[in-house]
């Protein structure tokens, strides 16, 4: 089928055999994926969720030889999900993500209820423990980071921030007087307050002075605007150029809108810190698969080690359910921290038994 044919089917209509007037009326109807995007945006889903759901809907359509979803139902969804688990061997979370995308499509775009999916072969959900660094490992990895990379990683470990929460932090979200950070629109569209580590206050102040200088130069050149969430740009037309709305970690180069010529600075791309941490872990000689998110895991684990209440840690992390936070208690019990190995209890009259003692040949 040609690309034009695919576009027609995925759009939900065909223009063949229609009168010019009918064609003009039909052409005004948004395409299927555009309807999906509008439904997601009206419910304030993130752009990443929007991109992911659109990709899953496309894969669903192409899997069934470019049939329109309106012509399909439970059997086709069942076949697609089973294919993901059996043939593509995806993880349980990936299969659930695909199901969520299709359910959203049918419920909110096609206005159809999906019934029993039958015997769907579900991917087995493994129980993974998070990778956690020791305090010494955190110190070594941070020592191999410099400048704003060190500052971002330090905030993630010191305040338990997610990667995108750290990068999307705005100037008004840093409260030096109260020693706290205000996370806006975190995961699940929840705001929360977490601590501002004393160790990063002075470096962060110096960093913000440098960022403010860049912002003032941008304003002098006729730019200096930043992306505003939701419809705040219309509600507060001048806020985009205000210092309090600027990102704490702006990108090095200004973005350019080719249509309007407008320029501004978004926050740094997540790959900047990801690459820096990967290199720092390599230089530290660590064999653990540590990523920026490992700092957040380590933050939670070390707080629990220090005796802080799990509800307090849950609030700082922004977890909806304490069961999510409970995974870090399992990490605490690993490696002999909770239970002493019986091998270590083997002692001789003179003290601990060594490998040599165990392998002595009876005389």
User: What are the pLDDT digits (tens) for 83-123?
Assistant: 998 899 888 889 999 999 999 999 999 999 888 776 666 66
Beta bridge partners of 168: none
35 burial type by CB count under 10 A (0-12 exposed, 13-18 middle, 19+ buried)? middle
Selection from 255, 249, 198 nearest residue 224 by Cα: 255
3-state secondary structure of 351: strand
Question: What CA–CA distance (Å, rounded) separates 263 from 248?
Answer: 18
- Give the H/E segment covering residue 181: strand 180-183
- Give the pLDDT band (50/70/90) at residue 15: very low
Cα 113 from chain centroid (whole Å): 29
CA dihedral 303, 304, 306, 309 (to 10 degrees): 100
Query: CB atoms < 10 A from the CB of 64, how many?
Result: 16
Domains within the chain, CATH numbers bracketed: 3-109 (1.10.150.130), 128-335 (1.10.443.10)
User: Tokens 């509008």, residue?
Assistant: 38
Confidence at 352, pLDDT banded by 50, 70, 90: low
Residue 335 vs residues 138, 325, 340: alpha-carbon distances, Å? 18, 19, 9
More confident residue, 42 or 359: 42
User: Which contacts (CB < 8 Å, 24+ apart) does range 273-279 have?
Assistant: 273/149, 273/152, 273/153, 273/163, 273/166, 273/167, 274/163, 276/145, 276/149, 276/153, 277/141, 277/145, 277/149, 277/153, 279/144
Residue 77 structure tokens: 């969804």
Compute the average pLDDT of residues 236-260: 87
Classify residue 114 as left (phi > 0), alpha (psi -120 to 50) or beta: beta
- pLDDT score recorded for residue 362: 58
Nearest to 265 by CA among 303, 308, 215: 215
Is the pTM higher than 0.75?
A: no
Give the pLDDT confidence of 41-75 residue by residue, as tens digits.
988 888 889 999 999 999 999 999 999 999 999 89
Percent of the chain topping pLDDT 70: 81
Based on the number of CB atoms within 10 Å of its own CB, is 2 exposed (0-12), middle (13-18) or buried (19 or more)? exposed
Q: 112: left (phi > 0), else alpha (psi -120 to 50), else beta?
A: beta
Q: How many CB atoms lie within 10 A of CB 141?
A: 25
pLDDT tens, residue by residue, 184-222: 988 877 899 999 999 999 999 999 999 999 999 999 988
Q: What is the mean pLDDT of the chain?
A: 84
* Separation CA 320–CA 192 (nearest Å): 11
Question: Given this model, what pLDDT does residue 108 score?
Answer: 94
- 172 with 187: CB under 8 angstroms? no
Distance separating alpha carbons of residues 103 and 239, to the nearest angstrom: 38
| Predicted local distance difference test score (pLDDT) of residue 114 | 85
Active site residues per annotation? 162, 187, 293, 296, 319, 328
**How many whole angstroms separate alpha carbon 157 and alpha carbon 297?**
8
How long a stretch of residues is the chain? 363
**CA distances to 139, 224, 261, 270 from 230, in Å:** 39, 19, 22, 21
Measured CA to CA, the distance from residue 340 to residue 298 in angstroms comes to 22
The Cα 204–Cα 248 span in angstroms is 9
Q: Exposed, middle or buried: residue 148 (CB in 10 Å: 0-12, 13-18, 19+)? A: buried
- In the DSSP assignment, the letter for residue 250 is B
pLDDT at 359 over 80: no
The per-residue pLDDT for 17 is 45
């Amino acid at each position: 089928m040609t690309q034009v044919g695919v576009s027609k089917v995925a759009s939900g209509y065909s223009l063949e055999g229609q009168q010019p007037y009918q064609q003009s009326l039909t052409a005004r109807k948004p395409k299927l994926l555009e309807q999906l995007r509008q439904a997601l945006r009206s419910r304030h889903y993130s752009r990443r969720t929007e991109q992911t759901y659109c990709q899953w809907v496309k894969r669903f359509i192409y899997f069934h030889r470019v049939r329109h979803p309106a012509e399909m139902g439970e059997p086709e969804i069942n076949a697609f999900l089973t294919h993901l688990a059996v043939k593509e061997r995806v993880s349980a979370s990936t299969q659930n993500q695909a199901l969520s995308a299709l359910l959203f499509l049918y419920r909110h775009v096609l206005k159809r209820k999906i019934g029993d999916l039958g015997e769907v072969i579900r991917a087995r959900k493994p129980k993974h423990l998070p990778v956690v660094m020791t305090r010494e490992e955190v110190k070594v990895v941070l020592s191999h980071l410099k400048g704003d990379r060190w500052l971002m990683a330090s905030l993630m470990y010191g305040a338990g921030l997610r990667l995108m929460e750290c990068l999307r932090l705005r100037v008004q979200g840093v409260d030096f007087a109260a020693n706290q950070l205000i996370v806006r629109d975190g995961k699940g569209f929840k705001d929360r307050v977490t601590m501002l580590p004393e160790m990063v206050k002075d470096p962060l102040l110096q960093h913000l002075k440098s960022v403010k200088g860049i912002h003032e130069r941008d304003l002098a050149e006729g730019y200096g605007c930043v992306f505003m969430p939701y419809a705040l740009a219309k509600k507060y037309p001048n806020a985009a150029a205000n210092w309090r709305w600027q990102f704490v970690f702006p990108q090095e180069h200004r973005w350019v809108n080719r249509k309007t010529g407008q320029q501004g600075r978004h926050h740094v791309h997540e790959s900047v810190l990801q690459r820096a941490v990967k290199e720092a872990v390599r230089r530290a000689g660590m064999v653990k698969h540590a990523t920026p998110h490992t700092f957040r895991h380590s933050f939670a684990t070390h707080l629990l080690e220090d005796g802080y209440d799990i509800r307090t840690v849950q609030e700082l992390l922004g977890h909806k359910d304490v069961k999510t936070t409970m995974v870090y208690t399992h990490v605490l019990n690993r490696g002999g921290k909770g239970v002493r190995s019986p091998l270590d209890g083997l002692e001789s009259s003179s003290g601990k038994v060594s490998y040599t003692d165990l392998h002595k040949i009876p005389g």
